[in-house]
Structure 1
Amino acid sequence: MKFDKLLGTKNMYRLLSLFFALLLFFYVSYQRLGTTRVSDKEVANSKLTTTKTLSLKVPLTLNVDNSKYYVTGYPEEVKVDISGPSALVTTLDNTRNFEVYADLSDLKSGTHTVKLKTSGFNKELSVALSPEKIKVKIAPKKTAKMPIQVRYDTSLIQNGYVAGSPSLSTQTVDVTGAKADIDKLDSVVANLNLPENSHGDYGRTVLLQALDKEGHSLPVSLSPETVKVNLPISQATATKEVKLELVTENNGVPGKTYQLSTETKTVKLRGTKSALDKLNSLRVPVSVTGVNESTTKTVSLSPTKAGVASVTPASIVVQITVDDEQDQDSLERALPTSSSSSKVAESTSSSQQSSTDELKNDTSETSSAASGSEVSSDQTTN
């Protein structure tokens, strides 16, 4: 009776409603959780099964004895096409924990075609290289230390101004390359590109170049690769008169000698005072190539030292006097004659010495005889 009354109360209905509501809530939540787990698994499986393609530029590594050999002809980078499961490709792209290399460890000097190799790639990934093979030149390695020369166009400096001696962040550079290329090395230059009408100090970081005698660039490595150059440019206000120093340039005709002279004894230099204070003469090279007889030549004068802006006059007339060298064969034929003369003189001297000795002996004998006569005379007297 009491239970029936309890079931009929409002509170009982409320409790039952709450119970079924909670039961429904937990049921729905459980269904959603199961669906989410299935969805996550499907996504994970989808990532593993979805194919992704990736193209990269990768630095090429060389496996070689760098202390002994120098290698040229290879590309700095190689194109790598990677395809495979999306998750693996993405991970590889983020970590970049792989390598493309050429194994040259068993190769000697010469030109070789080598197949590129890879490491660090998952086996499930497909990897294609471009190029697959490279041609390299392996040569004995050599290193040389060279001074740095600064080059610039003086015509870009404003009239009335002159450049001084450039200052460099380093004076020398280490040049490394194949022995054959290092043997051709003539200079290392820093080309300073001046703006037009430069009239103040100018500084830049300049890329260095290694050149042969013809001015061609050599395939070598430079350390450092760049140098900081500062070129002082100041107004040229000082003048100074200096004498000329004429010198022959280039090889003349074999068997000829050359003497240079000019009626111009001094020239006027214009430049900075500090530069002119160091100069007492102007060196003028005169080419005698192909000159086989005396002649005159007009030679242009130009500043050869930093800090000198101009030379007045701009040219001079040089007299080139050509003479024949003494014939070497005649000189050699003259040597035995001198030797014979020497022997004749020696023989004459010996004869004179012998005559002198004989004369001394005769004189000695005469002197002894005279002494004997004197003794006998004394004895007779007694």
Structure 2
Amino acid sequence: MRNWFTLKRSGLAVVSLVFALLLFLTAKTVAYNGSSNRINLLTETYTHTLENVPIDIKYNSDEYFISGYSYEAEVYLASTNRVKLDSEINPDTRQFKVVADLTKLTEGTTKVSLDVRDLPSDVTAEVRPATMTVTLGKRVTKNFPVEAVVNEERVMPGYVYESASLDVSDVAVTSDENTIGQIARVIASLPDETSLSKDQVKESVTLQAVSEQGTILPAIITPAKAELTVNLRKLTKTVPLVVELTGQLDSSLSHINYELGFSEVIISGSQEALDETDRVLVTIDISDIKKDTRKTLTLSAEGVKVTPEVIDVKLKVTKK
């Protein structure tokens, strides 16, 4: 009997040992996985691409004028610190800047590297493109008269260009020596989206230095803007009104007399339409007229605008 109890106890001990071993291995596996997850979280890398990052160009602006360069670059940021990365993404809290250092360069066209400076630790950056081309020239300033330029093809039908004026007559133009020599004139012109469809168009416009061929040249113009006033004349013509009675005269009437509020109107439109229009027809339907009546009629003619647009007509009947 004692041997049976001994064997039973031994069996239980073995089972307990195996169960404890399984629990131990399970706990180690969970602990390992948890540790692995924490490591992965700690080493996760966050990235972000910034577009249109301004380039800080360092050069002697008193001696040189620069042209032919890019104003902005793309920057690829990476960090394991999400907070620091977000701070660099936000332009209001950003510390880094993209710099092109031209301080050791002389006149001519050169390719220079774009460097990222003042980047916080734990954040890396890559500039795209890594270089830019820039031209340095001797800085020169010269005065030029300003000309108003109006593209008459943009004048809407019904108007004709008459004149243009500016509130600025002369400007100072700064550029490099070579470009100053290419400037033929400084112009003030309206943007393409501006509609020339009223008697006077007035707008503040950006001045441009152009070559003999009309190419816009790089330059600093002072003042940079001018108020351009374009005067247009509306194409008009005075024509008579011609009355036409339509419909069947009522059997109780012998005739109907009419009296117009006015006898002439002004028409406006393209020159071709004006040339083709020599009168405006006033059509009066008398079918339902049996007594003295007043009517208000709309005036119109093909291809032109009629002013005024309505007319009052008095109809006086004569009975048989």
Q: TM-score range by the shorter chain?
A: 0.5 to 0.7
1:375 corresponds in structure 2 to none
Contact 1:62–1:103 (Cα < 8 Å) also in 2: yes
1:151 corresponds in structure 2 to 149
* Matching residue's letter, 2:136: I
1:106 corresponds in structure 2 to 104
Equivalence map 1:1-382=2 (5 Å): 49-57=43-51, 58-84=53-79, 85-94=81-90, 95-154=93-152, 156=155, 163-168=162-167, 170-192=168-190, 195=195, 198-234=197-233
User: Which has a greater percent of strand?
Assistant: 2
- Identical pairs, percent: 24
* Matching residue's letter, 1:223: T
Task: Give the direction of change, closer, same or farther, for the CA distance of 1:162–1:64 in structure 2 (3 Å limit).
Answer: closer
Rounded Cα–Cα distance in structure 2 between residues aligned with 1:223 and 1:201? 26
Task: Give the direction of change, closer, same or farther, for the CA distance of 1:195–1:160 in structure 2 (3 Å limit).
Answer: closer
Contact 1:82–1:89 (Cα < 8 Å) also in 2: yes
Rounded Cα–Cα distance in structure 2 between residues aligned with 1:158 and 1:125? 61
* Matching residue's letter, 2:149: R
Rounded Cα–Cα distance in structure 2 between residues aligned with 1:157 and 1:81? 49
Contact 1:98–1:121 (Cα < 8 Å) also in 2: yes
Using CA pairs under 8 Å that are at least 6 residues apart, name the structure with larger relative contact order, 1 or 2.
2
Task: Give the direction of change, closer, same or farther, for the CA distance of 1:87–1:47 in structure 2 (3 Å limit).
Answer: farther
Q: Which runs of 5 or more residues in structure 1 are unaligned?
A: 1-43, 238-382
Contact 2:166–2:226 (Cα < 8 Å) also in 1: no
Contact 2:148–2:166 (Cα < 8 Å) also in 1: no
Offset, 1:209? 1.9
Rounded Cα–Cα distance in structure 1 between residues aligned with 2:138 and 2:74? 29
Task: Give the direction of change, closer, same or farther, for the CA distance of 1:45–1:150 in structure 2 (3 Å limit).
Answer: farther
The 3-state SS of whatever aligns with 1:166 is strand
Offset, 1:187? 0.4
Offset, 1:148? 1.5
Offset, 1:233? 3.1
Q: Which runs of 5 or more residues in structure 2 are unaligned?
A: 1-37, 237-320
TM-score, length basis structure 1: 0.45
Rounded Cα–Cα distance in structure 2 between residues aligned with 1:160 and 1:104? 53
The 3-state SS of whatever aligns with 1:137 is strand
The 3-state SS of whatever aligns with 1:164 is strand
* Matching residue's letter, 2:70: P
Rounded Cα–Cα distance in structure 1 between residues aligned with 2:107 and 2:43? 48
Task: Give the direction of change, closer, same or farther, for the CA distance of 1:61–1:124 in structure 2 (3 Å limit).
Answer: same
Contact 1:150–1:166 (Cα < 8 Å) also in 2: yes
Rounded Cα–Cα distance in structure 2 between residues aligned with 1:72 and 1:161? 40
RMSD: 2.9
The 3-state SS of whatever aligns with 1:65 is coil
Rounded Cα–Cα distance in structure 1 between residues aligned with 2:221 and 2:109? 23
Offset, 1:49? 4.5
Task: Give the direction of change, closer, same or farther, for the CA distance of 1:88–1:47 in structure 2 (3 Å limit).
Answer: farther
TM-score, length basis structure 2: 0.53
Task: Give the direction of change, closer, same or farther, for the CA distance of 1:200–1:116 in structure 2 (3 Å limit).
Answer: same
The 3-state SS of whatever aligns with 2:179 is helix
* Matching residue's letter, 2:55: L
The 3-state SS of whatever aligns with 1:177 is strand
